Amino acid sequence: MKRFIILVLCTLLFVVGCSGKKEDDLVTEEEDETEVSIIPNTSLTDSQYKILLPYKPSKARLAMTNQVSNRVDMDELDEGLRRHSTDVYDTKNHLFEEGQHLDEEFIYSLVDKLNPDVEEKDKKEDKIKAHRKNPRVFSHILEQNFLTKKKDNSVELSGISIGISLKSVYRFQVETGGANYYEPIPYNEMLDEGKKIADEVLKELRQIDELKNVKIMIALFREEEQSSPVPGNYVAKTVVDKGKNKIGKWENVPEEHILFPSDEGKKKYHDDYEKVKSFGDEIAQYFPNYVGTIAEGFYIDKDLKRLTLEIPLEFYGKGEVIGFTQYTYGVVKEIFPNHFDIEISITSSYGTESLITRPAGEDDPQVHIYH
């Protein structure tokens, strides 16, 4: 096992200037190979972890793209797990590192092991029934590591977070290259199955030497269907203390991502639906090439925490971009209250033209126009 020795990074200039390693910076521990690493002096916000450098990608970095079919689910599976980890591993004294203990082979093997086997049938109709009766709910495991610095300037693994990704719709084929079939998985069925899977995952993790005696947070993620423009969300989480081999109480996670405009958004969050609609109506009055706004609301316990909007337009000059952005800035202040984060991307066929952001609690948005 490698031992990490930490150099505290005061400024980026210091990093550029330090191309060599001095012997005083290295500490050896028996036969172990020692690595010199750097901790950035600051993080972007207090709610974000400092990341150990040089950056180490996950040992299973390619597995997610093969196991989870929706790009927005991949992002939320990763970002959401890190967000929930802040409740367990304080950002002030923990460093973040991508998973270093579960490789692709381990993940593929465990997913196959913990999903049901579908009984072979001769007739196509019987094969379809067999799949519908035994849906493969479990799709992926995501590992994140959290490290703490010791007095001798080395770091140690103090805990890990595990995201267990579960399907809301099981897509399957009964013939190679044949038609796709879809089996919706009810929420409660997914949740019950996810908790059983978590029990088995914990047993496997405790067989790994480095994970026998560390804290483990496990969170269950419900994926959206493959074509959904908004991601799924975490639905439950639990913490297993050092050395414990059984999961105790689960905590429900009241999160959801809502698309606007949509029937679901109109029904569940009518006031927010109307605000997004009014925002679009205001813009459409003055810009004839406006075609609509795609918005995503992120809610915790039915309280809007973040609203993200994308406005696609066909621009014919930088002046039009500036004028549109200026007008949109005013509409944001007029229509949207400031108790949630807001981000608006104004895009064209060439990419993002401008960006308007406003953190919760601020009155005036910030604007960036790309050149």
What string of H, E and C letters represents the secondary structure of 183-231? EECCHHHHHHHHHHHHHHHHHHHCCCHHHCCCEEEEEEEECCCCCCCCC
Assess whether 131 and 237 both reside in one domain.
yes
What does the pLDDT read at residue 44?
64
What does the pLDDT read at residue 122?
78
State how far the Cα of 307 lies from the Cα of 333, in Å rounded to an integer: 14
The C-alpha torsion from 49 through 53 and 54 to 59, rounded to 10°, is: -40
Assess whether 52 and 35 both reside in one domain.
no
Q: Containing domain of residue 80, as a range?
A: 43-253
What does the pLDDT read at residue 350?
87
Neighbours of 194 (CB within 10 A): 23
Assess whether 308 and 355 both reside in one domain.
yes
Q: How many domains does the chain have?
A: 3
Give the bridge partners for 37, in sequence order: 6
Domain boundary among 253, 281, 316: 253
Q: Which DSSP symbol is given to 294? A: E
CA geometry: angle 200, 206, 211, nearest 5 deg: 135
Domain boundary among 253, 275, 294: 253
Assess whether 184 and 127 both reside in one domain.
yes
* Tens digits of pLDDT across the chain (371 residues): 454 444 444 333 333 334 343 333 332 233 355 666 777 766 667 778 998 888 889 989 889 999 999 999 999 999 999 999 999 999 999 999 999 999 999 999 999 999 998 888 878 899 999 999 999 999 999 999 999 988 887 889 999 999 999 999 999 998 888 999 999 999 999 999 999 999 999 999 999 999 999 999 999 999 999 999 999 999 999 999 998 999 999 999 999 999 999 999 999 999 999 999 999 999 888 887 787 889 999 999 999 999 999 999 887 788 888 999 999 999 999 999 999 999 999 998 889 999 999 999 999 999 999 98
* Tokens standing for residue 160: 């890990």
CB 283 within 8 A of CB 328: yes
CB 189 within 8 A of CB 138: no
Domain boundary among 253, 268, 287: 253
State how far the Cα of 254 lies from the Cα of 262, in Å rounded to an integer: 20
Residue type, 369: I
Neighbours of 109 (CB within 10 A): 12
Assess whether 212 and 333 both reside in one domain.
no
Cβ neighbours for 295, distance < 8 A, ≥ 6 positions apart: 259, 260, 261, 276, 307, 308, 309, 310
State how far the Cα of 76 lies from the Cα of 83, in Å rounded to an integer: 10
Cβ neighbours for 66, distance < 8 A, ≥ 6 positions apart: none
Cβ neighbours for 64, distance < 8 A, ≥ 6 positions apart: 74, 77, 78, 140, 142
Assess whether 84 and 8 both reside in one domain.
no
Assess whether 275 and 203 both reside in one domain.
no
Assess whether 79 and 143 both reside in one domain.
yes
Cβ neighbours for 41, distance < 8 A, ≥ 6 positions apart: 8, 9, 10, 11
* Tokens standing for residue 214: 């560390």
Beta strands in 265-340 (DSSP E): 294-300, 303-312
What does the pLDDT read at residue 21?
39
